[in-house]
Amino acid sequence: MEEQREKLRSWLKEKLDAGGARVRVKDLTDEMLEIHGVKPGRFRQLFSQTVQQFVTAHIGGAEAAAWSKDDDFSGRGLAQGEKDMRAQRAARFQKHLNEKTPVAMVSFDAEVGTIDGGPMIGELVGMCSRDEAKEREMTRQLDKFEWKKGTDPRQPEVDLRLACKKYQRSSADKAYKSQDVRSLDACWKTMEYLMREILDFDSNPKPGYAIQAIPYIEVYSFLRDRTRSIRVDLHLQQPRSTTQRIFVETHECCLRFEMLSLYLLLGRGQNKEATEKYDTKLGLKAISQTIEPLLNAYQAIHEKQLAKSILAEAMGGFGLDDDDQEDYGSPFEMASRRYIVLLLMSFAPDEVSSHLSKMHRELLMHPLVSFATEVYAAFHTENYARFLRMYREADFLSAVAMSGVADLARMRALWLLVRTYPQQVGDKIALGKLKNILAFASDDHAKSFLAFHGLQIVIDKEWAGGAYIVLPKKGTPEAASLPLLQGGARLPEKCEYPKGADSLLIAKFDSLGLTRAEIALGNADPIAPEVEEAEAEAEAEEAAEKEAEESEPMDAGVEPLTVVC
Protein backbone atom coordinates (compact mmCIF):
# COMPACT_ATOMS: atom_id res chain seq x y z
CA MET A 1 0.00 0.00 0.00
CA GLU A 2 2.81 2.42 0.89
CA GLU A 3 4.61 1.71 -2.38
CA GLN A 4 1.44 2.32 -4.39
CA ARG A 5 0.82 5.56 -2.51
CA GLU A 6 4.32 6.89 -3.25
CA LYS A 7 4.15 5.98 -6.94
CA LEU A 8 0.77 7.65 -7.28
CA ARG A 9 1.90 10.77 -5.39
CA SER A 10 4.98 11.14 -7.62
CA TRP A 11 2.91 10.72 -10.79
CA LEU A 12 0.34 13.32 -9.64
CA LYS A 13 3.01 15.86 -8.77
CA GLU A 14 4.60 15.47 -12.18
CA LYS A 15 1.25 15.96 -13.90
CA LEU A 16 0.38 19.02 -11.80
CA ASP A 17 3.83 20.59 -12.11
CA ALA A 18 3.68 20.16 -15.88
CA GLY A 19 0.07 21.23 -16.44
CA GLY A 20 -0.62 23.54 -13.47
CA ALA A 21 -4.02 25.17 -13.59
CA ARG A 22 -4.73 23.69 -17.02
CA VAL A 23 -5.13 20.18 -15.55
CA ARG A 24 -8.76 19.12 -15.20
CA VAL A 25 -9.73 16.86 -12.30
CA LYS A 26 -11.97 14.76 -14.50
CA ASP A 27 -9.19 14.12 -16.98
CA LEU A 28 -6.77 13.45 -14.16
CA THR A 29 -9.16 10.94 -12.57
CA ASP A 30 -9.74 9.11 -15.87
CA GLU A 31 -6.03 8.91 -16.60
CA MET A 32 -5.27 7.71 -13.08
CA LEU A 33 -7.80 4.90 -13.47
CA GLU A 34 -6.44 3.91 -16.90
CA ILE A 35 -2.74 3.97 -15.98
CA HIS A 36 -2.70 2.97 -12.30
CA GLY A 37 -6.08 1.27 -11.94
CA VAL A 38 -6.98 3.52 -8.98
CA LYS A 39 -10.55 4.73 -8.60
CA PRO A 40 -11.49 7.96 -6.74
CA GLY A 41 -12.69 5.93 -3.74
CA ARG A 42 -9.40 4.04 -3.54
CA PHE A 43 -7.51 7.34 -3.85
CA ARG A 44 -9.43 8.75 -0.89
CA GLN A 45 -8.63 5.62 1.14
CA LEU A 46 -4.91 5.95 0.36
CA PHE A 47 -4.53 9.69 0.93
CA SER A 48 -7.42 10.49 3.35
CA GLN A 49 -8.59 13.20 0.92
CA THR A 50 -10.24 13.50 -2.48
CA VAL A 51 -8.41 14.12 -5.79
CA GLN A 52 -9.82 17.65 -5.85
CA GLN A 53 -8.47 18.39 -2.36
CA PHE A 54 -5.07 16.98 -3.32
CA VAL A 55 -4.90 19.17 -6.43
CA THR A 56 -6.01 22.28 -4.54
CA ALA A 57 -3.38 21.73 -1.86
CA HIS A 58 -0.63 21.20 -4.44
CA ILE A 59 -1.16 24.04 -6.93
CA GLY A 60 -2.10 26.75 -4.38
CA GLY A 61 -4.17 29.93 -4.29
CA ALA A 62 -4.12 31.86 -7.62
CA GLU A 63 -3.60 28.75 -9.70
CA ALA A 64 -6.37 27.02 -7.77
CA ALA A 65 -8.72 29.84 -8.76
CA ALA A 66 -7.81 29.46 -12.43
CA TRP A 67 -8.03 25.67 -12.21
CA SER A 68 -11.46 25.88 -10.54
CA LYS A 69 -12.67 28.14 -13.33
CA ASP A 70 -11.81 25.62 -16.05
CA ASP A 71 -12.87 22.47 -14.18
CA ASP A 72 -16.17 20.75 -14.92
CA PHE A 73 -16.87 20.32 -11.18
CA SER A 74 -16.20 23.90 -10.13
CA GLY A 75 -19.82 24.95 -10.41
CA ARG A 76 -20.77 26.68 -13.60
CA GLY A 77 -22.85 29.83 -13.58
CA LEU A 78 -21.36 31.21 -10.32
CA ALA A 79 -20.74 34.92 -9.93
CA GLN A 80 -17.15 36.10 -10.01
CA GLY A 81 -17.32 37.12 -6.35
CA GLU A 82 -18.40 33.62 -5.33
CA LYS A 83 -15.58 32.09 -7.35
CA ASP A 84 -13.04 34.41 -5.73
CA MET A 85 -14.40 33.52 -2.30
CA ARG A 86 -13.98 29.80 -3.04
CA ALA A 87 -10.42 30.38 -4.22
CA GLN A 88 -9.59 32.29 -1.03
CA ARG A 89 -11.14 29.55 1.09
CA ALA A 90 -9.06 26.91 -0.69
CA ALA A 91 -5.88 28.91 -0.06
CA ARG A 92 -6.81 29.58 3.59
CA PHE A 93 -7.32 25.91 4.38
CA GLN A 94 -4.39 24.71 2.32
CA LYS A 95 -2.27 24.19 5.41
CA HIS A 96 -4.99 22.17 7.17
CA LEU A 97 -5.44 19.91 4.17
CA ASN A 98 -1.80 18.91 4.33
CA GLU A 99 -1.91 18.12 8.05
CA LYS A 100 -3.06 14.65 9.09
CA THR A 101 -4.46 14.12 12.57
CA PRO A 102 -4.52 10.54 13.82
CA VAL A 103 -8.09 9.41 14.55
CA ALA A 104 -8.93 6.65 17.04
CA MET A 105 -10.51 3.55 15.57
CA VAL A 106 -14.25 3.28 16.16
CA SER A 107 -15.79 -0.11 16.86
CA PHE A 108 -19.44 -1.06 17.00
CA ASP A 109 -18.66 -4.24 18.91
CA ALA A 110 -20.57 -4.34 22.20
CA GLU A 111 -17.54 -5.80 23.94
CA VAL A 112 -15.42 -2.73 23.19
CA GLY A 113 -15.83 0.22 25.51
CA THR A 114 -12.58 2.12 25.18
CA ILE A 115 -10.07 2.94 22.45
CA ASP A 116 -7.63 0.29 23.65
CA GLY A 117 -10.16 -2.43 22.87
CA GLY A 118 -11.73 -3.30 26.24
CA PRO A 119 -14.43 -2.08 28.63
CA MET A 120 -13.66 0.34 31.43
CA ILE A 121 -12.10 -1.30 34.47
CA GLY A 122 -12.39 0.58 37.75
CA GLU A 123 -9.11 1.25 39.54
CA LEU A 124 -10.34 3.05 42.68
CA VAL A 125 -10.03 0.66 45.64
CA GLY A 126 -11.53 2.93 48.29
CA MET A 127 -15.09 4.11 48.87
CA CYS A 128 -14.20 7.60 47.63
CA SER A 129 -11.16 9.21 46.07
CA ARG A 130 -9.22 11.77 48.09
CA ASP A 131 -9.63 14.40 45.36
CA GLU A 132 -13.42 14.12 45.32
CA ALA A 133 -13.62 14.17 49.13
CA LYS A 134 -11.50 17.33 49.36
CA GLU A 135 -13.39 19.00 46.53
CA ARG A 136 -16.74 18.33 48.22
CA GLU A 137 -15.28 19.60 51.49
CA MET A 138 -14.38 22.92 49.83
CA THR A 139 -17.76 23.21 48.08
CA ARG A 140 -19.70 22.24 51.26
CA GLN A 141 -21.24 19.14 49.67
CA LEU A 142 -20.34 16.73 52.47
CA ASP A 143 -23.06 14.70 54.12
CA LYS A 144 -23.29 14.58 57.93
CA PHE A 145 -22.18 10.94 57.86
CA GLU A 146 -18.89 12.02 56.26
CA TRP A 147 -17.96 14.72 58.78
CA LYS A 148 -14.90 14.34 60.94
CA LYS A 149 -15.87 13.87 64.57
CA GLY A 150 -15.64 17.13 66.50
CA THR A 151 -15.61 19.31 63.39
CA ASP A 152 -17.32 22.69 63.20
CA PRO A 153 -20.76 22.19 61.56
CA ARG A 154 -20.44 25.64 59.96
CA GLN A 155 -17.27 24.54 58.14
CA PRO A 156 -17.20 20.72 58.32
CA GLU A 157 -14.08 18.73 57.52
CA VAL A 158 -14.15 15.37 55.78
CA ASP A 159 -13.24 12.07 57.40
CA LEU A 160 -11.68 10.13 54.52
CA ARG A 161 -12.47 6.82 56.23
CA LEU A 162 -16.21 7.60 56.14
CA ALA A 163 -16.49 9.40 52.79
CA CYS A 164 -18.48 7.63 50.06
CA LYS A 165 -18.50 8.60 46.41
CA LYS A 166 -21.44 10.89 45.63
CA TYR A 167 -23.80 10.35 42.70
CA GLN A 168 -23.20 12.84 39.89
CA ARG A 169 -25.47 13.33 36.93
CA SER A 170 -23.96 12.49 33.57
CA SER A 171 -23.48 15.27 31.04
CA ALA A 172 -22.26 15.59 27.48
CA ASP A 173 -18.87 17.00 28.50
CA LYS A 174 -18.32 14.61 31.42
CA ALA A 175 -15.53 12.08 30.92
CA TYR A 176 -15.23 9.08 33.24
CA LYS A 177 -11.72 7.98 34.13
CA SER A 178 -10.73 4.53 35.36
CA GLN A 179 -8.92 5.96 38.39
CA ASP A 180 -12.17 7.64 39.52
CA VAL A 181 -14.34 4.53 39.07
CA ARG A 182 -14.43 1.98 41.88
CA SER A 183 -13.43 -1.59 41.20
CA LEU A 184 -16.04 -4.31 41.63
CA ASP A 185 -14.65 -5.29 45.02
CA ALA A 186 -14.67 -1.64 46.14
CA CYS A 187 -18.30 -1.33 45.04
CA TRP A 188 -19.33 -4.28 47.19
CA LYS A 189 -17.19 -3.04 50.08
CA THR A 190 -19.05 0.28 49.93
CA MET A 191 -22.44 -1.46 49.77
CA GLU A 192 -21.66 -3.60 52.82
CA TYR A 193 -20.47 -0.53 54.73
CA LEU A 194 -23.67 1.39 53.94
CA MET A 195 -25.95 -1.49 54.89
CA ARG A 196 -24.14 -2.54 58.07
CA GLU A 197 -23.10 0.84 59.47
CA ILE A 198 -25.62 3.41 58.20
CA LEU A 199 -28.93 1.63 57.52
CA ASP A 200 -29.92 1.40 61.21
CA PHE A 201 -28.22 4.62 62.34
CA ASP A 202 -31.49 6.23 63.45
CA SER A 203 -32.09 3.46 66.00
CA ASN A 204 -28.49 2.38 66.59
CA PRO A 205 -26.12 5.39 66.33
CA LYS A 206 -22.38 4.64 66.15
CA PRO A 207 -19.89 6.49 68.38
CA GLY A 208 -17.32 7.18 65.65
CA TYR A 209 -19.51 9.69 63.77
CA ALA A 210 -19.93 13.44 64.17
CA ILE A 211 -23.71 13.09 64.52
CA GLN A 212 -25.79 10.84 66.73
CA ALA A 213 -29.50 11.71 66.57
CA ILE A 214 -30.92 11.62 63.06
CA PRO A 215 -34.29 10.51 61.61
CA TYR A 216 -34.47 7.64 59.15
CA ILE A 217 -35.62 9.88 56.29
CA GLU A 218 -32.17 11.53 56.32
CA VAL A 219 -30.50 8.13 56.55
CA TYR A 220 -32.54 7.06 53.53
CA SER A 221 -31.64 10.19 51.57
CA PHE A 222 -27.92 9.53 52.09
CA LEU A 223 -28.18 5.82 51.26
CA ARG A 224 -30.30 6.39 48.17
CA ASP A 225 -27.68 8.74 46.71
CA ARG A 226 -24.67 6.57 47.56
CA THR A 227 -26.22 3.29 46.37
CA ARG A 228 -27.11 5.01 43.10
CA SER A 229 -23.47 6.03 42.75
CA ILE A 230 -22.43 2.39 43.22
CA ARG A 231 -24.78 1.29 40.45
CA VAL A 232 -23.28 3.92 38.12
CA ASP A 233 -19.75 2.58 38.73
CA LEU A 234 -20.95 -0.95 38.00
CA HIS A 235 -22.75 0.12 34.81
CA LEU A 236 -19.64 1.91 33.54
CA GLN A 237 -17.82 -1.42 33.62
CA GLN A 238 -20.38 -3.25 31.53
CA PRO A 239 -20.52 -5.69 29.79
CA ARG A 240 -17.67 -7.23 31.80
CA SER A 241 -19.46 -6.63 35.10
CA THR A 242 -22.99 -7.66 34.05
CA THR A 243 -22.66 -11.40 34.62
CA GLN A 244 -20.54 -11.16 37.74
CA ARG A 245 -21.69 -11.85 41.26
CA ILE A 246 -21.07 -8.36 42.66
CA PHE A 247 -23.22 -6.70 39.97
CA VAL A 248 -26.18 -9.00 40.67
CA GLU A 249 -25.92 -8.98 44.47
CA THR A 250 -25.54 -5.19 44.59
CA HIS A 251 -28.75 -4.65 42.61
CA GLU A 252 -30.60 -7.27 44.68
CA CYS A 253 -29.43 -5.49 47.83
CA CYS A 254 -30.61 -2.12 46.45
CA LEU A 255 -34.03 -3.62 45.70
CA ARG A 256 -34.42 -4.97 49.25
CA PHE A 257 -33.19 -1.67 50.72
CA GLU A 258 -35.82 0.32 48.82
CA MET A 259 -38.57 -2.12 49.85
CA LEU A 260 -37.46 -2.00 53.49
CA SER A 261 -37.45 1.80 53.34
CA LEU A 262 -40.95 1.71 51.86
CA TYR A 263 -42.05 -0.08 55.04
CA LEU A 264 -40.05 2.08 57.44
CA LEU A 265 -41.10 5.42 55.98
CA LEU A 266 -44.83 4.79 55.58
CA GLY A 267 -45.43 4.86 59.30
CA ARG A 268 -42.90 2.73 61.14
CA GLY A 269 -39.79 4.77 61.71
CA GLN A 270 -41.07 8.00 60.14
CA ASN A 271 -40.13 11.01 62.26
CA LYS A 272 -42.74 13.79 62.15
CA GLU A 273 -40.07 16.36 63.08
CA ALA A 274 -37.86 15.48 60.09
CA THR A 275 -37.20 18.31 57.66
CA GLU A 276 -37.60 16.00 54.66
CA LYS A 277 -40.65 14.00 53.66
CA TYR A 278 -40.70 10.64 51.94
CA ASP A 279 -42.03 10.74 48.40
CA THR A 280 -43.49 7.38 47.41
CA LYS A 281 -43.10 8.19 43.71
CA LEU A 282 -39.37 8.83 44.09
CA GLY A 283 -39.02 5.59 46.03
CA LEU A 284 -40.81 3.64 43.31
CA LYS A 285 -38.65 5.36 40.68
CA ALA A 286 -35.54 4.18 42.50
CA ILE A 287 -36.99 0.65 42.55
CA SER A 288 -37.63 0.74 38.80
CA GLN A 289 -34.05 1.97 38.19
CA THR A 290 -32.84 -1.08 40.11
CA ILE A 291 -35.20 -3.64 38.57
CA GLU A 292 -34.33 -3.05 34.91
CA PRO A 293 -30.55 -3.70 35.12
CA LEU A 294 -31.16 -6.60 37.51
CA LEU A 295 -33.50 -8.37 35.06
CA ASN A 296 -31.06 -7.68 32.22
CA ALA A 297 -28.27 -9.26 34.27
CA TYR A 298 -30.37 -12.36 34.96
CA GLN A 299 -31.12 -12.65 31.24
CA ALA A 300 -27.46 -12.18 30.25
CA ILE A 301 -26.35 -14.85 32.72
CA HIS A 302 -28.92 -17.37 31.45
CA GLU A 303 -27.99 -16.72 27.83
CA LYS A 304 -24.28 -17.07 28.54
CA GLN A 305 -24.80 -20.29 30.48
CA LEU A 306 -26.95 -21.67 27.67
CA ALA A 307 -24.31 -20.79 25.08
CA LYS A 308 -21.63 -22.49 27.19
CA SER A 309 -23.72 -25.63 27.61
CA ILE A 310 -24.33 -25.85 23.86
CA LEU A 311 -20.62 -25.32 23.19
CA ALA A 312 -19.67 -27.92 25.79
CA GLU A 313 -22.03 -30.45 24.26
CA ALA A 314 -20.70 -29.77 20.78
CA MET A 315 -17.03 -29.94 21.82
CA GLY A 316 -17.35 -32.61 24.45
CA GLY A 317 -16.09 -30.22 27.11
CA PHE A 318 -12.77 -29.67 25.33
CA GLY A 319 -11.31 -26.20 25.69
CA LEU A 320 -13.76 -25.02 28.35
CA ASP A 321 -12.46 -23.66 31.63
CA ASP A 322 -14.22 -25.29 34.56
CA ASP A 323 -12.75 -22.72 36.95
CA ASP A 324 -14.47 -19.76 35.30
CA GLN A 325 -16.18 -17.89 38.16
CA GLU A 326 -17.39 -14.84 36.26
CA ASP A 327 -20.86 -16.20 35.49
CA TYR A 328 -22.93 -16.16 38.65
CA GLY A 329 -26.28 -17.86 39.16
CA SER A 330 -27.97 -16.03 42.02
CA PRO A 331 -29.80 -18.14 44.63
CA PHE A 332 -31.98 -15.06 45.26
CA GLU A 333 -33.18 -14.69 41.66
CA MET A 334 -36.59 -16.31 42.15
CA ALA A 335 -37.27 -14.31 45.31
CA SER A 336 -36.36 -11.09 43.47
CA ARG A 337 -38.63 -12.00 40.56
CA ARG A 338 -41.40 -12.63 43.07
CA TYR A 339 -40.93 -9.18 44.59
CA ILE A 340 -40.94 -7.57 41.14
CA VAL A 341 -44.26 -9.14 40.11
CA LEU A 342 -45.88 -8.15 43.42
CA LEU A 343 -44.54 -4.58 43.20
CA LEU A 344 -45.91 -4.22 39.68
CA MET A 345 -49.27 -5.54 40.83
CA SER A 346 -49.41 -2.97 43.63
CA PHE A 347 -48.00 0.11 41.94
CA ALA A 348 -48.06 -0.46 38.15
CA PRO A 349 -50.87 -2.97 37.44
CA ASP A 350 -50.97 -2.17 33.70
CA GLU A 351 -47.46 -3.56 33.27
CA VAL A 352 -47.96 -6.93 34.98
CA SER A 353 -49.31 -8.78 31.93
CA SER A 354 -46.50 -7.48 29.72
CA HIS A 355 -43.90 -8.48 32.30
CA LEU A 356 -45.30 -12.00 32.76
CA SER A 357 -45.49 -12.54 29.01
CA LYS A 358 -41.70 -12.12 28.78
CA MET A 359 -41.01 -14.86 31.35
CA HIS A 360 -40.56 -18.41 30.11
CA ARG A 361 -42.54 -21.31 31.50
CA GLU A 362 -39.86 -22.61 33.88
CA LEU A 363 -39.73 -19.27 35.69
CA LEU A 364 -43.51 -19.01 35.94
CA MET A 365 -43.77 -22.55 37.33
CA HIS A 366 -41.21 -21.96 40.08
CA PRO A 367 -42.97 -22.02 43.51
CA LEU A 368 -41.73 -18.57 44.53
CA VAL A 369 -42.83 -16.94 41.28
CA SER A 370 -46.09 -18.88 41.01
CA PHE A 371 -47.04 -17.53 44.45
CA ALA A 372 -46.84 -14.01 43.01
CA THR A 373 -48.91 -14.92 39.96
CA GLU A 374 -51.56 -16.51 42.20
CA VAL A 375 -51.70 -13.35 44.31
CA TYR A 376 -52.13 -11.28 41.16
CA ALA A 377 -54.87 -13.61 39.89
CA ALA A 378 -56.71 -13.53 43.23
CA PHE A 379 -56.76 -9.73 43.33
CA HIS A 380 -57.86 -9.24 39.73
CA THR A 381 -60.57 -11.90 39.91
CA GLU A 382 -61.97 -10.12 42.98
CA ASN A 383 -61.17 -13.05 45.28
CA TYR A 384 -60.12 -10.70 48.07
CA ALA A 385 -60.51 -13.28 50.83
CA ARG A 386 -57.81 -15.40 49.17
CA PHE A 387 -55.62 -12.36 48.51
CA LEU A 388 -55.75 -11.34 52.17
CA ARG A 389 -55.09 -14.91 53.30
CA MET A 390 -51.97 -14.99 51.11
CA TYR A 391 -51.02 -11.54 52.42
CA ARG A 392 -51.24 -12.93 55.94
CA GLU A 393 -49.11 -15.97 55.06
CA ALA A 394 -46.47 -14.19 52.94
CA ASP A 395 -42.91 -13.48 54.04
CA PHE A 396 -42.06 -9.96 55.19
CA LEU A 397 -40.69 -8.44 51.97
CA SER A 398 -43.39 -10.07 49.83
CA ALA A 399 -45.98 -8.59 52.18
CA VAL A 400 -44.31 -5.17 51.82
CA ALA A 401 -44.66 -5.47 48.05
CA MET A 402 -48.33 -6.44 48.43
CA SER A 403 -49.09 -3.70 50.94
CA GLY A 404 -49.71 -1.15 48.21
CA VAL A 405 -53.16 -2.65 47.54
CA ALA A 406 -53.75 -4.36 50.91
CA ASP A 407 -56.06 -1.63 52.27
CA LEU A 408 -58.01 -1.55 49.00
CA ALA A 409 -58.46 -5.34 49.20
CA ARG A 410 -59.62 -5.01 52.82
CA MET A 411 -62.12 -2.32 51.93
CA ARG A 412 -63.53 -4.29 49.00
CA ALA A 413 -63.79 -7.46 51.10
CA LEU A 414 -65.62 -5.45 53.76
CA TRP A 415 -67.86 -3.86 51.10
CA LEU A 416 -68.85 -7.32 49.80
CA LEU A 417 -69.49 -8.55 53.33
CA VAL A 418 -71.74 -5.60 54.19
CA ARG A 419 -73.66 -5.98 50.92
CA THR A 420 -74.34 -9.70 51.44
CA TYR A 421 -75.45 -10.08 55.09
CA PRO A 422 -79.22 -10.53 55.79
CA GLN A 423 -80.14 -6.85 55.89
CA GLN A 424 -83.81 -7.56 56.70
CA VAL A 425 -82.87 -8.72 60.22
CA GLY A 426 -79.37 -7.30 60.69
CA ASP A 427 -76.37 -9.21 61.98
CA LYS A 428 -73.37 -9.18 64.33
CA ILE A 429 -69.85 -10.43 63.70
CA ALA A 430 -67.02 -10.94 66.21
CA LEU A 431 -64.08 -8.56 65.99
CA GLY A 432 -61.65 -11.49 66.16
CA LYS A 433 -63.23 -13.17 63.14
CA LEU A 434 -63.27 -9.99 61.09
CA LYS A 435 -59.69 -9.22 62.12
CA ASN A 436 -58.64 -12.59 60.72
CA ILE A 437 -60.62 -12.19 57.49
CA LEU A 438 -59.16 -8.72 56.81
CA ALA A 439 -55.60 -9.72 57.80
CA PHE A 440 -55.05 -7.38 60.75
CA ALA A 441 -52.48 -8.25 63.40
CA SER A 442 -53.81 -5.98 66.17
CA ASP A 443 -57.24 -5.19 67.58
CA ASP A 444 -56.53 -1.45 67.57
CA HIS A 445 -55.68 -1.44 63.87
CA ALA A 446 -58.83 -3.42 63.05
CA LYS A 447 -61.03 -1.10 65.15
CA SER A 448 -59.51 1.99 63.54
CA PHE A 449 -60.12 0.66 60.02
CA LEU A 450 -63.70 -0.45 60.73
CA ALA A 451 -64.63 2.77 62.53
CA PHE A 452 -63.21 4.83 59.65
CA HIS A 453 -65.68 3.08 57.33
CA GLY A 454 -68.63 3.82 59.60
CA LEU A 455 -69.20 0.46 61.33
CA GLN A 456 -70.38 0.38 64.94
CA ILE A 457 -68.08 -1.47 67.38
CA VAL A 458 -69.54 -2.78 70.67
CA ILE A 459 -67.14 -3.84 73.42
CA ASP A 460 -68.09 -7.22 74.84
CA LYS A 461 -65.47 -9.53 76.34
CA GLU A 462 -67.61 -12.60 75.68
CA TRP A 463 -67.05 -12.20 71.93
CA ALA A 464 -63.83 -13.27 70.18
CA GLY A 465 -61.52 -10.28 70.17
CA GLY A 466 -63.42 -8.61 73.04
CA ALA A 467 -65.92 -6.85 70.79
CA TYR A 468 -68.36 -7.33 67.94
CA ILE A 469 -69.39 -5.35 64.88
CA VAL A 470 -73.02 -4.36 64.36
CA LEU A 471 -74.36 -4.79 60.84
CA PRO A 472 -77.52 -2.64 60.90
CA LYS A 473 -81.02 -3.70 59.89
CA LYS A 474 -82.38 -2.34 56.63
CA GLY A 475 -84.51 0.77 57.05
CA THR A 476 -82.86 1.92 60.30
CA PRO A 477 -81.03 5.26 60.57
CA GLU A 478 -77.76 3.35 61.10
CA ALA A 479 -78.18 1.54 57.76
CA ALA A 480 -79.06 4.77 55.99
CA SER A 481 -75.91 6.48 57.26
CA LEU A 482 -73.51 3.58 56.63
CA PRO A 483 -71.19 4.66 53.75
CA LEU A 484 -70.57 1.07 52.62
CA LEU A 485 -74.29 0.69 51.83
CA GLN A 486 -74.45 3.90 49.83
CA GLY A 487 -73.68 4.39 46.15
CA GLY A 488 -74.06 1.96 43.28
CA ALA A 489 -73.22 -1.69 42.90
CA ARG A 490 -69.66 -1.13 41.64
CA LEU A 491 -66.68 -1.96 43.83
CA PRO A 492 -64.87 1.04 45.33
CA GLU A 493 -61.99 2.28 43.16
CA LYS A 494 -59.79 3.45 46.03
CA CYS A 495 -59.49 3.33 49.79
CA GLU A 496 -59.37 6.65 51.64
CA TYR A 497 -58.10 5.15 54.90
CA PRO A 498 -54.92 7.10 55.89
CA LYS A 499 -51.78 5.27 54.82
CA GLY A 500 -49.61 4.42 57.79
CA ALA A 501 -48.06 1.57 59.70
CA ASP A 502 -49.66 -1.78 58.91
CA SER A 503 -49.97 -3.95 62.02
CA LEU A 504 -49.41 -7.11 59.96
CA LEU A 505 -46.13 -5.79 58.52
CA ILE A 506 -44.97 -4.70 61.98
CA ALA A 507 -45.73 -8.16 63.36
CA LYS A 508 -43.87 -9.85 60.49
CA PHE A 509 -40.86 -7.55 60.91
CA ASP A 510 -40.69 -8.14 64.66
CA SER A 511 -41.03 -11.91 64.26
CA LEU A 512 -38.04 -12.05 61.91
CA GLY A 513 -35.55 -11.24 64.64
CA LEU A 514 -33.15 -9.90 61.99
CA THR A 515 -31.30 -6.61 61.72
CA ARG A 516 -32.01 -4.25 58.83
CA ALA A 517 -28.64 -5.10 57.31
CA GLU A 518 -29.45 -8.82 57.36
CA ILE A 519 -32.78 -8.16 55.63
CA ALA A 520 -31.10 -6.00 52.97
CA LEU A 521 -28.42 -8.65 52.38
CA GLY A 522 -30.99 -11.40 51.74
CA ASN A 523 -31.43 -13.27 55.04
CA ALA A 524 -35.21 -12.68 54.98
CA ASP A 525 -35.77 -13.85 51.40
CA PRO A 526 -38.20 -16.76 50.99
CA ILE A 527 -36.88 -20.21 50.07
CA ALA A 528 -38.63 -22.63 47.75
CA PRO A 529 -40.24 -25.62 49.55
CA GLU A 530 -38.11 -28.22 47.76
CA VAL A 531 -34.95 -26.33 48.73
CA GLU A 532 -36.03 -26.27 52.37
CA GLU A 533 -36.79 -30.01 52.24
CA ALA A 534 -33.42 -30.74 50.62
CA GLU A 535 -31.61 -28.69 53.27
CA ALA A 536 -33.55 -30.41 56.06
CA GLU A 537 -32.74 -33.85 54.63
CA ALA A 538 -29.06 -32.96 54.28
CA GLU A 539 -28.94 -31.73 57.88
CA ALA A 540 -30.70 -34.88 59.09
CA GLU A 541 -28.29 -37.15 57.21
CA GLU A 542 -25.31 -35.23 58.53
CA ALA A 543 -26.61 -35.48 62.10
CA ALA A 544 -27.28 -39.22 61.70
CA GLU A 545 -23.78 -39.85 60.34
CA LYS A 546 -22.23 -37.89 63.17
CA GLU A 547 -24.28 -39.76 65.77
CA ALA A 548 -23.32 -43.10 64.23
CA GLU A 549 -19.62 -42.20 64.31
CA GLU A 550 -19.82 -41.15 67.95
CA SER A 551 -21.77 -44.25 69.05
CA GLU A 552 -19.64 -46.80 67.12
CA PRO A 553 -17.50 -48.76 69.68
CA MET A 554 -13.76 -49.00 69.07
CA ASP A 555 -12.37 -52.52 68.64
CA ALA A 556 -10.21 -53.31 71.67
CA GLY A 557 -7.82 -55.42 69.58
CA VAL A 558 -7.03 -52.63 67.16
CA GLU A 559 -4.65 -49.93 68.16
CA PRO A 560 -5.40 -46.42 66.89
CA LEU A 561 -3.24 -45.28 63.98
CA THR A 562 -0.61 -42.67 64.60
CA VAL A 563 0.24 -40.40 61.71
CA VAL A 564 3.82 -39.15 61.79
CA CYS A 565 4.59 -36.07 59.73
What pTM did the predictor assign?
0.72
- With 60 as the cut, is the pLDDT of residue 366 above it? yes
pLDDT of residue 68: 43
Q: Which tens digits make up the pLDDT trace of 186-222?
A: 999 999 999 999 999 999 999 989 988 899 999 999 9
Q: How confident is the model at residue 276 (pLDDT cuts 50, 70, 90)?
A: low
pLDDT of residue 188: 96
| Element of type H or E holding 430 | strand 427-430
- With 80 as the cut, is the pLDDT of residue 440 above it? yes
- With 70 as the cut, is the pLDDT of residue 490 above it? yes
Residues in the chain, total: 565
pLDDT of residue 77: 47
Percent share of the chain, pLDDT over 70: 77
Q: Which tens digits make up the pLDDT trace of 227-257?
A: 999 999 999 998 889 999 999 999 999 999 9
- With 80 as the cut, is the pLDDT of residue 406 above it? yes
Average pLDDT, the chain: 81
User: What is the Rg, in whole angstroms, of the alpha carbon atoms belonging to the chain?
Assistant: 37
Greater confidence, 309 or 94? 309
**Alpha helices, H only, 237-366:** 245-265, 280-315, 333-347, 352-357, 361-365
**Are β-strands 467-471 and 427-430 bridged in parallel, bridged antiparallel, or unpaired?**
antiparallel
Q: What is the mean pLDDT of residues 475-486?
A: 87
Greater confidence, 274 or 509? 509
Can you spell out the DSSP letters for 441-510? SSHHHHHHHHHHTT-EEEE-TTSTTSEEEEEPPTTSHHHHH-GGGSS-SSPPS---SPP---HHHHHHHH
| Element of type H or E holding 135 | helix 130-138
Greater confidence, 200 or 65? 200
pLDDT of residue 228: 95
Q: What is the mean pLDDT of residues 102-109?
A: 33
Greater confidence, 95 or 306? 306
pLDDT of residue 47: 75
262 CB-near residues (< 8 Å, 6+ apart): 280, 283, 400, 403
Q: What is the mean pLDDT of residues 302-311?
A: 86
Highest mean pLDDT among 258-267, 350-359, 393-402, 461-470: 393-402
Give dist(CA 259, CA 158) in Å, integer.
Answer: 31
Q: How confident is the model at residue 318 (pLDDT cuts 50, 70, 90)?
A: low
Contact of 464 with 431, CB cutoff 8 Å: yes
